[in-house]
Every structure is written in C-alpha cells, then in structure tokens.
Chains A and B, each alone.
Chain A
C-alpha cells in the first residue's frame, strides 16, 4: 500500500466554532447503521445542519459562501466522545482534507491521521483571527504547511502544532501503518510468546 505524503493542505476554509464538539454531533448514532463507510458523505453534523423537520438551519457548513471548503476551523476538544471512525470518515468524505482547532480528542485525532487528514492546533487568538478573516473573506485560501508548521492566510502565517509522530507519518506517507505493522510479524510473535496469558 503506497500512500501519498501529506505535506501541505490548501483550500478555502469554514469556521465551525464551539468547544467540545462531540462525535454524536459530528455523526449522530443512527448513521452508524452501516457495514461500510461509503454512504457517510453529507451526513456530517446532520442534526446541527437540519432541524427535526429536515429544514436547513443556516449552519456555516451549508452557507453557499463556504461551499467547497476543504479546511475546518474549530475550537477546543473537537471530536470528544465516541471512538466511531464514522466521524472523521464523514468529514473526509464530505470534502475536508484538514482541520485546525484549539485541541482535538485523542481517538478522533488518531482516526483522522489514519485517513491522511491532518488535525493541527493553534492558539485560540490566532484561530479567532483566522475565523474572523475567513468569515469576511470566504474565498480566501488557507494553506496548512506541515513542513514549517504554519497556517497561512492572506500572507499572514500563524504557528501550528501537532505531535511529531503524526507529523512524520503524514510527511513520509506512512499515515496508514498497516504495511509496517505486517512487516514486523516476527517481532510481534516474539512478544506474543513472552505473554503467558495468551
């Protein structure tokens, strides 16, 4: 399985503000009734985007000014709650290629990286400035660069962060680890042999 290195993500962005946006908000449990992830596109944030009569709620994700956005700007503890990979899958399959926020819940973060979708963090003030600028200039391009760890919009770079291992995995095209895990079969068998409870 050869993977593309992820070095930069460029595109327009949409702010989805708020702290503790949980996986039930990102993908309500009723959409988990599926044996593949294939039909999750467009189901992201469904109950925030539509009211109980299925009328659109004027959510930023459906604002025509942000149509085609591939970067989501969000708050703290994004993706908290369930381990459901359906959450990053739904976001990815709806056209997003990177998220920038104040912090990310760990399981969501790991699931997103395994899809090659970076989740980078930035200071709250920088995020507020970025979100305000993007709201005023929805067509503005945001460029997330994992080499120099900046997010640039309107030629103003702000520092971003992410754990080294995830960054290296993305930069080296190893974000899906399955091949490497399979290669180490012998070493894994040695550990297995040392564990009496198996």
Chain B
C-alpha cells in the first residue's frame, strides 16, 4: 500500500514519540510576524533559552502594519509591536524582511515569493492561514504562540498525526469561476468543521491545470473548512514557479532537489481516510451570505431560508446570522448594497489576482459612495503590479492603491469598516466583527466579483457586469 505526501513528509520529519503518544515533529521552516511572536520571545527570555536554528526562522511585518505611511504608524501599540519584532530578529539572528528590505509583505505571500516555501518540507507559523504553503506540497499549518516558543527553542513541535481526505475536483471551470469559488464551494459542501482531524489533499484535473497562485488560494482557506493543513502534490508547475527564486536550490543542486521533491508525491495506490469527488462544472461564482465561511451560495441562488432547515440548532444559528447580516432568507443575494470593496489578503492578494481584476475593471468606475481599496500582498507584488501599470487601472477606477499588508482582512491596522458597513471582500473570513467594526458585515467573493460589486455598488454577477469574463483555468 502506497503512502500520501502527508505521511512521507511526516515520516521524514519525525524525531520520535513523546510520552503522551504525540510525535515530536521537526519543523524545517518557521515563519513569524509581529502579532503572535513577541510573547513567544518573552517566554524564551524568561526561560533562559536561545533560538536553536535561527537560520530556519524568517520574519516579516504584516498584520498590524499600516498600508499608508507604513514606517511610522500613528498607533503607538502598532509601533511597539513592529519595534519588538525588529529587536527580536536582531537579538536572535533571524532573517527579517522589513519595510526597508523591499521584500516585506504578508507572510504567506513572502514565503513563496522568496522560494523559502518548498515541496516536501514542514512549515509552521503563528497564523492559521499557513496552509497556503501546502500549495507547494509542503505540510504547513498554523500554531499558537506557546508553540512558536517551542519551534524557536527546539525547531520541533509536539503534534498529533492527522487523517488525510483527498478532494478531487475534475473538469473545466465555467466562465467567471475562480479558485476562490472552488474553495468556497468545498467549504460549503463539507462544512466549517468538516475538516477537523484531517489534512486536505487537493487534486484532480482542475488542480493540475491551476497555477501556483490558484493552488495557494485554495490551500489558504483549508482552515475555514476546519482542516489545519491542506496541500497539492508538487509537479512541473510548482518547480517552474520556484526556479531562480532567492531561497530556491541553486542550479547545481536543482536536479537533485526536483528528484527529491518528486519522491514526496502521494503514491498512486496511497490509502486515504476519505475521498470526495467534485465536478468543476457544477461550481458557480460564489458569495457568502452569513457569518461563517460555510455560509456560501452561488451568485444566482437565493439566500437560504432558515425555516427550511431540518435541524433546530442550525435554524437558530442561521436566523442569528441573517439578523446580523441584515439579510432575509429566500431573497436574492444579488443586488445587496455594499459600502466597501476590499481587494487583497493572503487569499487573493497576489499578482495574478490584481491582473485578472484589472483586466475587467479597466474602463469602469467604482460606484458613488463605495470606498474601494486594493492592497497588494507584498512589496514585490506591488512593484510588479506597478510595472504593468495595474495600479493606474485601479486608481483610475476609483480604488485606493495601498502599501502591502493584511489590512482589512483582520483590520488590526487603520483599515477598518465603520459601524454596520457591508464589505465585498476577497479575504477569507466573514466572522462577526472581523473587519474591524463590531457590527461590520463581510461578503466573501473572488477578486473579479469584488470589482463587479464595487462598480455596481451592490453584490453582482461579474459575468453580467463585465464583457467576456472567461474561465480562469482554460485547460483540463
């Protein structure tokens, strides 16, 4: 019986069995940012420990950093946290992609961009969207701050092995259907808690045809489906993306690296704990209507009627969700007025997202009264967009073009909703209060759908707003 990539990577990194039955797992790559690491460095200092493998931790500033006047945050607490990261990186000899480096950005954009994210590796970060890196065939997962301490001090973690669910998506996506719609569809199908105890292995012809950026979008939101870890087996697309990046293997070691990476691919006869098959043709451009990422529907569907739900607890939860969102069951989602449009985040803040959005936005204007911001995922993304003139397209349409960071995805910086504003967002969470106002409302969607909503001033079907919205994945 063959093995999955998850098992092979696990076996290659297992240090031993701990007394409680958990495995001590070696973490090859550790990524840190300013919000969940300072407390861990405090613990390291309190315990008199040192950072064991400082060259295997990489730092950047993303969560709290402002997207305007980035070096000098007006919030003294933000300045303190940014300074703490600078000091900790310096004191412990950790590589720090700071604002001055020109390489700063969202940690899950920076890792792949620098070629730090590689197949067959283990990657941990104090951030739940670490599964993004699974797009490269890495076992990547989010950890708490005490675990950040564990990685700093030992480069290992006490971990419980997960089961593996294979999710096949086969076929050709319809026009205007993107990777974001695929993951919203998967989460809707399997539920926000469906992935508890599982790693998700994504595959099938749709994924084979996907670019690395599309694979990252899907893996990124694995945690929204309850799966701490999600991955795609590495292939030529992966290797092509990595070749020549600063931290990728040098040319003289490249062939050996590719051979090793290929050896981690799941075997054809690998055993899975569960298998789910999805037909790509059945996926519509998707949006959320509620306060959990599994509250998703196709754009042409009505908002679910809570009374139609057979389960009493679900009925109550759905009623509360609709009351919070100020939406009505049974009504169309199309036409719901928006106040803010947010384009960015570790889910959809990469070059291809801005390219695809700009392609359709060009020549259109943001509707009056809508605040629209575009936030590149990294400084490098921003520069590449600017070289192509994409920033001008966004500015001319009425978007604000900002500096790199997490921004309004979690609103720890000044980019926040106000009151009960409703935001069409390319981010990953529609939780209550997520975007900075305790009564703020979020509707998740793909970048092109965000642009369509911005242009119309209401939730819209991009296929009706823009001419010739094509499929993102023409192959397969």
**Chain A residues with a Cβ under 8 A of chain B:** 1, 18-20, 22, 24-25, 28-30, 32-37, 47, 52, 75-77, 80-85, 88, 103-107, 110-111, 114-115, 124, 163-166, 168-169, 172, 174, 176-178, 180-182, 184-185, 187-188, 190-192, 194-198
Contacts and interface: CB of A to CB of B under 8 A. Distances in A.
Given A24-B432, A37-B39, A187 B16 contact: yes
Contacts, number: 210
Nearest to A76: B193
Nearest to A194: B12
CB-CB nearest 3 A-B residue pairs: A111-B144, A83-B142, A85-B144
B401 to A, nearest CB: 24
Interface of B: 12-16, 18-22, 24, 26, 28, 35-36, 38-39, 42, 47, 49, 52-53, 56, 63-64, 75, 77-78, 80-81, 84, 118, 120-121, 126-128, 130, 142-147, 149-150, 153-158, 160, 192-193, 196-197, 223, 226, 228, 249, 256-257, 260, 291-292, 313-314, 317, 320, 410-412, 419, 429, 431-434, 436, 438-439
Given A28-B433, A75-B313, A177 B197 contact: no
A197 B160 CA distance: 24
B417 to A, nearest CB: 12
Interface of chain B: mostly helix, strand, loop or mixed: loop
B431 A24 contact: yes
A47 B158 contact: no
Nearest to A33: B77
Nearest to B143: A83
A84 B36 contact: yes
Nearest to A109: B196
Contacts of B256: 196
A195 to B, nearest CB: 6
16 contacts: A20-B292, A28-B438, A29-B436, A33-B78, A34-B77, A35-B80, A36-B39, A52-B419, A77-B192, A107-B223, A165-B21, A165-B22, A168-B19, A182-B153, A191-B15, A194-B12
A130 B369 CA distance: 50
A107 B317 contact: no
Given A25-B431, A33-B64, A37-B39, A105 B196 contact: yes
A113 to B, nearest CB: 10
Contacts of B36: 83-85
Contact of B197 (A24, A106, A195): A106
A19 B196 CA distance: 14
Contact of A184 (B24, B128, B193): B24
Contact of A107 (B12, B142, B429): B142
Nearest to A82: B128
A18 B317 contact: yes
A188 to B, nearest CB: 5
A36 B37 CA distance: 10
A194 B14 CA distance: 11
Contacts of A75: 313
A107 B431 contact: no
